Amino acid sequence: MKKKKILALLFSFVFAFPLMAATSLDQAKTKVKNYVLNTLKLSEYSVYNAKSDMSTITLMMGKNISVPSNSWIFFIDEHPDSDWGHDCRFAFVSKSNGSLSIMKSILPPEKLYNWGKNFRNTTNEDALRRSTSTYNSSNHGLINYNLYTKTGKKSPNCYSVIINGGYDRYNNYRRYWNNCSMIYQALTSVYGYPKENIYVLMGDGTNSAADLNLNTYDDPKLISSPLDLDGDGSADIKYSATKVNISSVFNELKSRMTANDELFVYVTDHGSNDGSICLWGESFSPSEFKTELNKINGKAKSISVLMVQCYSGAFINQIAGTNRTIMTSASSTETSKSTMDYSKFGRNWLAGNLGYDAINDVNVNSDKDNDGYFSMEESYSYASSIPCNSTPQYSSYKGKMGQYQYLDGVIGCKYAYDIDKHINVNSNISSGSKKYVAGFLLDANNKISNNANVEYKSYNKISLKKGFKVSGAKLKASILACNSSSTSLRSTKIEDLNDIEKENIDDVFSDLYKLQYVDTIEDCTNIVTISPNPSNGIFTVNFSNGNANSILLKIIDLFGNTIYQEETLSNSVTIDLSDQKKGVYFVQLISNDNTSVQKVILK
């Protein structure tokens, strides 16, 4: 009898042991939390658990992973509220024995909002510096309208495509709307893009359903995306971000654009390590994007592409090509850094392109060649010089096109970027006819003589140094522009014009804003010098007023605003701009039919 009791007791322990070893959900949560804090030692994290059993997890962009059987399932986000993809993990805790297994990922579950929130630690850096002048507090951080002063500029040959998918309403964060609004406002207010030339594909398009998350995944605030990006009361978002609509837009561009037109493409979104970007509920690969861009080969003078999603560098090899400049916020193996309010690289690129950071309301020094304008290369260089935890990428046709390419067009003719910016001409020219096509520098003591017929053409800058002579010969110097003598110039300068005999000057173009025919020295009345330059805000403008009764002097900022103006009979005016922001300004003098412009820098 005693022996039977012992056997029965042993039998009960054998069958009770699995029950005693079973791991509860709370125990599994504790194990995962210890892993996050003590093994991964993350300073920021969010942890979620699946509310039901599953054998397969579908990830964003449709990928699938298998789940170990009989497991508690957890998702660990290592960079909460950042763009996807980025480092994250799935943790599986065995319900039978409590063992922990880990699977790395860069994408979250497709419907993470259905999972349970466990614990979180993150810092919203935007909350530390958000200003009411820049952000609309009533809309939880959407950017304000009227960020930039309207310049009155018109760019009828410029087109743009702006793309943001967001994937779904929970992952379509407010920063994407902010990014697109900032770009859109710059294109329309500063550069004068016609609104009908800008194609915006965002979220679910014009659908009135909620498609934008103003807050975090843990505490979502969902609204329908405001369709008005620049505050003029009209809808700017016309399309949902789908492959069908992207194809339709590029088909329309193919029929509308000509060889004299420019295209700027901006993409902000989540990205995958295979290079794909998220659209609305689907993904878009680099090869698919290449197909769309190639539709307008020969239909655009230039194409520039700015991409700020994670792994955006994967697009470089696919879409780089003739007449194109491509800029990305990260390499093909890196994630991009964002805050809840904007893409860091995208914000810095736009600040570099405008010489002005709207977030902090300050001018920035991105104008490397000090011509008062900001090329693609300069914008990229400025943005990439600011650390953002990734390696920005740049590709420009023949390595040079970005030097001549601006948001409102390409300087000079179609292949200006094939030619070096400056050529030094150090030898005298005493016979025959010679032509030079390049930016060029004529040094002192050079001489054109003995009936030589010399023609210089530049896409950028002509400098005639003091001591240069033309004697008994003919010089023709021109700043080239495409198809029209009214094409704007960014960097032209003819120095020491008085050192050349006036009767030998023929067709010299020299105005900063517009090509201007100069027949003789007398026509070039308003030759301007500014001292000191750069200055602390107080400087003197010296000039010749020729035969004019009076001269109108204006100081103009980068956005075309006249901040100072006076009419004078004098040849010298001292101006105090010490109350103005640091940056580049233009001194414009107008008399009779002549206009001269010089740049002044406040430091």
Instruction: Give 33-50 pLDDT, tens digit per residue.
Output: 999 999 999 888 999 999
pLDDT at residue 124 in the model: 53
pLDDT at 520 over 50: no
What mean pLDDT do residues 72-82 have? 89
Of residues 544 and 11, more confidence is placed in 544
Angle at 416 between CA 411 and CA 420, to 5 degrees: 115
What mean pLDDT do residues 386-414 have? 80
The values of phi and psi at residue 499, to 5°, are: -80, -5
Nearest-angstrom CA–CA distance, 79 and 389 = 13
Strands (E) across 358-498 are located at 362-363, 393-396, 405-406, 409-410, 423-425, 433-437, 440-442, 447-449, 453-458, 462-464, 469-471, 474-479
Which secondary structure element, helix H or strand E, spans residue 247, and what is its range? helix 243-256
pLDDT at residue 138 in the model: 53
The fraction of the chain above a pLDDT of 90, given in percent, is: 42
What mean pLDDT do residues 394-405 have? 86
Nearest-angstrom CA–CA distance, 521 and 139 = 59
- Of 119-128, 416-425, 530-539, the range with the lowest mean pLDDT is 416-425
pLDDT at residue 106 in the model: 87
What digits encode the pLDDT tens for the residues 307-346? 999 999 999 999 998 889 999 999 999 988 888 888 999 9
Of residues 483 and 340, more confidence is placed in 340
Q: Model confidence at 549, in pLDDT bands (50, 70, 90)? A: low
Nearest-angstrom CA–CA distance, 369 and 411 = 14
Q: Model confidence at 67, in pLDDT bands (50, 70, 90)? A: very high
pLDDT at residue 322 in the model: 84
pLDDT at residue 503 in the model: 31
What digits encode the pLDDT tens for the residues 125-165? 544 344 444 555 555 678 888 899 888 888 999 999 999 99
Nearest to 29 by CA among 74, 71, 69: 74
pLDDT at residue 235 in the model: 96
The fraction of the chain above a pLDDT of 70, given in percent, is: 72
Of residues 578 and 527, more confidence is placed in 578
Of residues 487 and 138, more confidence is placed in 138
pLDDT at residue 457 in the model: 59
pLDDT at 6 over 90: no
pLDDT at residue 507 in the model: 30
Of residues 399 and 255, more confidence is placed in 255
Of residues 490 and 167, more confidence is placed in 167
Query: How does strand 302-307 pair with strand 262-267?
Result: parallel
Q: Model confidence at 442, in pLDDT bands (50, 70, 90)? A: very low
What mean pLDDT do residues 534-550 have? 75
pLDDT at residue 578 in the model: 85
- Of 104-118, 278-292, 360-374, 507-521, the range with the lowest mean pLDDT is 507-521
Q: How far is CA 409 from CA 222, 264, 401, in A?
A: 38, 10, 11
- Of 115-119, 184-188, 467-471, the range with the lowest mean pLDDT is 467-471
Q: Model confidence at 27, in pLDDT bands (50, 70, 90)? A: very high
Q: How many CB atoms lie within 10 A of CB 345?
A: 27
pLDDT at 486 over 80: no
Q: How far is CA 24 from CA 30, 505, 547, in A?
A: 10, 91, 95
pLDDT at residue 439 in the model: 41
- Of 149-153, 241-245, 496-500, 541-545, the range with the lowest mean pLDDT is 496-500
The values of phi and psi at residue 101, to 5°, are: -130, 150
